[in-house]
């Protein structure tokens, strides 16, 4: 048997570098240059691109014409190929990586050999992943590499080279014109690629999907954006479920938009309590008061380190599935020691997030820029003669941040840096307003003097009348309805202040 090895990851173990390592280990080695009759050329860009290599990989042993051609040209068969590719992902992950660095980390000869060997999988065993070395060695010692193993290895190669090319495509697509510093983090309309390449690696099988009769797995982005949930470290608890991950993502994306210590409690992907406070414990206490019933079995996220005070409050208050924070103190972990099923996750905090948002539809994928717009006070337009006070403006901005993460139609009542009532997911905006009011009443919270956010405009005055009847004194909404004048007049009639954001936050 003749094997060719060309690896950048020499774990578990030929071009020059690999040959040197093997020779030092006392193994008989022939360098590729001796086989091809050519030295490495063009600063190493040309090493294995030669008929003596590819002929040995591609020749079918069951075809006499192929074997005769090899004999005629003095080419030996290659029965085992072990290759791993230039570390393009690692190189481009470095903050100081230039376009030139990235280009030099694009492997050419490696993928060519891998694909050749995988195409001829019945005759050549091809190994791309060091994790497979042990299996291949075991079978070699037993006499032969099994057909099923060869086929599995070939499939793995094609998946790997496809992902590798996809990474390169995505990196280059994000560069506006090939010049340094021209990275575009969020594509404009004309910059969505003609073919979308997404690289995802399965990191864990899940017990089941959204429902027990559905199977599921979690796939991690090859290069997840900073601050996204995929960077989690689980400190304790049962395995995460499909619904745990979906709800945890909603909670984490919401909580990291706040600067002050904040807590978000999520149930079925909707915030049921959100608050800011002087400490994590205070923020949690306020968030829990919004809807203690819905908080049961929920997901709790913090944008501050989770300390013993906040952990103790959670343990004393409720049953919880997942708790997420940038860090969790040893004292906080001790507080959860008696609740070993509770999943504790640490996620590095960053306000960055995914540049693109994906939604699966039958036979296709909807792709859009992420809803990363955060309205500032200076961007708001007061449309009533009555101006909101400074305190009201703070409540309006808080309510608006929360409304972005509530399923449409969304109505959110807030006051004093906490949600008072959340109406989510109704087909009618007026029904969402009524539900939010009922939620506050059930929790024993008054809406008198509250601020209200609506994720989209009020098409008629009826929804506005409902929130005013509940006690709201100021409203924030996008505006843009054909009946804006009617709604503004209704606000003036009811004696409330109203501001327009000019930005809608539908969430489906």
pLDDT band with cut points at 50, 70 and 90 for residue 105: confident
Residue 290: pLDDT above 90?
Answer: yes
Give yes or no: residues 14 and 148 share one domain: yes
Give yes or no: residues 342 and 384 share one domain: no
Q: What percent of the chain has pLDDT over 70?
A: 90
Strand partners, 216: 206
25-41 average pLDDT score: 65
What pLDDT shows up at residue 176?
Answer: 58
Last residue of a domain, one of 118, 153, 181: 181
Both tokens assigned to 21: 């390592």
pLDDT band with cut points at 50, 70 and 90 for residue 8: low
Highest mean pLDDT among 96-105, 169-178, 488-497: 488-497
Give yes or no: residues 339 and 399 share one domain: no
Query: What's the CA gap between 492 and 482, in Å, rounded?
Result: 18
DSSP string, 341-400: TSEEEE----S---SEEEEEETTEEEEEE-------GGG-EE-SSSPPPHHHHHHHHHHH
196-205 average pLDDT score: 87
Strand order in the sheet with 270-276: 233-236, 343-346, 320-325, 298-302, 262-267, 270-276, 418-423, 411-415, 450-454, 472-477, 497-500, 381-382
pLDDT in tens, 386-397: 999 999 999 999
State the burial class of residue 279 (Cβ atoms within 10 Å of its Cβ: 0-12, 13-18, 19+). Answer: middle
Give yes or no: residues 477 and 403 share one domain: yes
Residue 411: pLDDT above 60?
Answer: yes
Give yes or no: residues 115 and 19 share one domain: yes
Contact 406, 424 (CB under 8 A): yes
Whichever domain contains 464, its CATH number is 3.40.140.20
Domain range for 168 is: 2-181
Contact 433, 466 (CB under 8 A): yes
Last residue of a domain, one of 154, 181, 208: 181
Whichever domain contains 65, its CATH number is 3.40.50.1380
What pLDDT shows up at residue 437?
Answer: 96
Give yes or no: residues 158 and 240 share one domain: no
Give yes or no: residues 175 and 312 share one domain: no
Q: Is residue 200 part of a domain?
A: no
Q: Is residue 302 part of a domain?
A: yes
What pLDDT shows up at residue 174?
Answer: 73
Helix (H) or strand (E) holding 306: none
Q: Which residues contact 500 (CB under 8 A, 6 or more apart)?
A: 380, 381, 383, 477, 478, 479, 480
Q: Is residue 367 part of a domain?
A: no
List residues with catalytic annotation: 119, 268
Give yes or no: residues 323 and 420 share one domain: no
Q: Is residue 204 part of a domain?
A: no
Residue 419: pLDDT above 90?
Answer: yes
Both tokens assigned to 243: 């619904």
Query: What's the CA gap between 280 and 265, in Å, rounded?
Result: 13
Give yes or no: residues 241 and 305 share one domain: yes
Q: 2-14 burial, b if ≥16 CB within 10 A, otherwise e?
A: eebbbbbeeeeeb
Give yes or no: residues 161 and 60 share one domain: yes
Give all strands (DSSP E) within 240-294, no chain letters: 262-267, 270-276
pLDDT in tens, 326-339: 999 999 999 999 89
160-187 average pLDDT score: 69
Both tokens assigned to 182: 């021209």
Q: Is residue 11 part of a domain?
A: yes
pLDDT in tens, 421-478: 999 999 999 999 999 999 999 999 999 999 999 999 999 999 999 999 999 999 999 9
Residue 187: pLDDT above 60?
Answer: no
Give yes or no: residues 26 and 130 share one domain: yes
Q: Which residues contact 343 (CB under 8 A, 6 or more apart)?
A: 234, 236, 237, 238, 240, 244, 321, 322, 323
206-213 average pLDDT score: 94
pLDDT band with cut points at 50, 70 and 90 for residue 493: very high
Residue 34: pLDDT above 70?
Answer: no
DSSP string, 52-102: HHHHHHH--TT-HHHHHHHHHHT-----EEEE----HHHHHHSTT--HHHH
Q: Is residue 66 part of a domain?
A: yes
Query: What's the CA gap between 116 and 57, in Å, rounded?
Result: 6
Last residue of a domain, one of 346, 361, 385: 346
pTM exceeding 0.85: no
* β-pairing verdict for 418-423 and 411-415: antiparallel
Highest mean pLDDT among 186-190, 248-252, 360-364: 248-252
Q: Is residue 468 part of a domain?
A: yes
pLDDT in tens, 333-368: 999 998 999 999 999 999 888 888 999 999 999 999
What pLDDT shows up at residue 24?
Answer: 58
Give yes or no: residues 21 and 145 share one domain: yes
Q: Is residue 476 part of a domain?
A: yes
pLDDT in tens, 433-447: 999 999 999 999 999
Query: Domain count of the chain?
Result: 3
């Amino acid at each position: 048997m003749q094997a060719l090895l060309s690896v950048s990851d020499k774990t578990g173990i030929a071009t020059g570098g690999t040959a040197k390592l093997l020779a030092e280990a006392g193994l008989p080695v022939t360098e590729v240059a001796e086989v091809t009759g050519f030295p490495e050329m063009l600063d190493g860009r040309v090493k294995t691109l030669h008929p003596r290599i590819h002929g040995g990989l591609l020749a079918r042993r069951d075809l006499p014409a192929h074997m005769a051609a090899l004999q005629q040209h003095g080419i030996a068969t290659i029965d085992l190929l072990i290759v791993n590719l230039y570390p393009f992902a690692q190189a481009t992950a470095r903050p100081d990586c230039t376009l030139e660095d990235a280009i030099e980390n694009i492997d050419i000869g490696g993928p060519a050999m891998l694909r050749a060997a995988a195409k001829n999988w019945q005759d050549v065993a091809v190994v791309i992943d060091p994790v497979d070395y042990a299996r291949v060695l075991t079978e070699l010692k037993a006499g032969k590499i099994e057909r099923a193993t060869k086929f599995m290895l070939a499939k793995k190669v094609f998946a790997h080279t496809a992902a590798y090319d996809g990474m390169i495509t995505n990196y280059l697509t994000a560069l506006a014109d090939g010049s340094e510093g021209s990275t575009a983090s969020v594509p404009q309309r004309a910059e969505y690629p003609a073919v979308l390449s997404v690289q995802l690696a399965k990191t864990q099988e899940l017990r089941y999907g959204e429902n027990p009769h559905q199977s599921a797995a979690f796939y991690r982005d090859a290069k997840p954006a900073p601050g996204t949930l995929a960077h989690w470290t689980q400190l304790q608890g049962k395995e995460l479920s499909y619904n745990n991950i979906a709800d945890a993502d909603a909670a984490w994306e919401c909580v990291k938009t706040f600067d002050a210590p904040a807590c978000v409690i999520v149930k079925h992907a909707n915030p049921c309590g959100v608050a800011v406070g002087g400490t994590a414990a205070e923020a949690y206490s306020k968030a829990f008061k919004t809807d203690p019933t819905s908080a049961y079995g929920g997901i709790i996220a913090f944008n501050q380190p989770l300390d013993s005070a906040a952990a103790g409050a959670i343990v004393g208050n409720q049953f919880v599935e997942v708790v997420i924070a940038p860090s969790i103190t040893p004292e906080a972990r001790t507080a959860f020691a008696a609740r070993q099923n509770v999943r504790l996750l640490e996620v590095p905090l960053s306000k960055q997030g995914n540049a693109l948002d994906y939604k699966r539809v039958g036979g296709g994928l909807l792709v859009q820029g992420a809803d990363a717009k955060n309205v500032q006070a200076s961007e708001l337009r007061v449309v009533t003669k009555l101006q909101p006070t400074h305190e009201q403006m703070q409540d309006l901005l808080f309510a608006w941040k929360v409304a972005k993460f509530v399923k449409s139609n969304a109505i959110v009542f807030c006051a004093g840096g906490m949600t008072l009532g959340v109406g989510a997911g109704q087909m009618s905006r007026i029904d969402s307003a009524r539900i939010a009011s009922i939620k506050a009443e059930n929790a024993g919270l008054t809406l008198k003097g509250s601020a209200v956010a609506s994720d989209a405009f009020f098409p008629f005055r009826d929804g506005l009348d409902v929130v005013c009847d509940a006690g709201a004194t100021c409203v924030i909404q996008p505006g843009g309805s054909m009946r804006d004048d009617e709604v503004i007049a209704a606000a003036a009639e009811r004696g409330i202040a109203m501001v327009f954001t000019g930005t809608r936050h539908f969430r489906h």
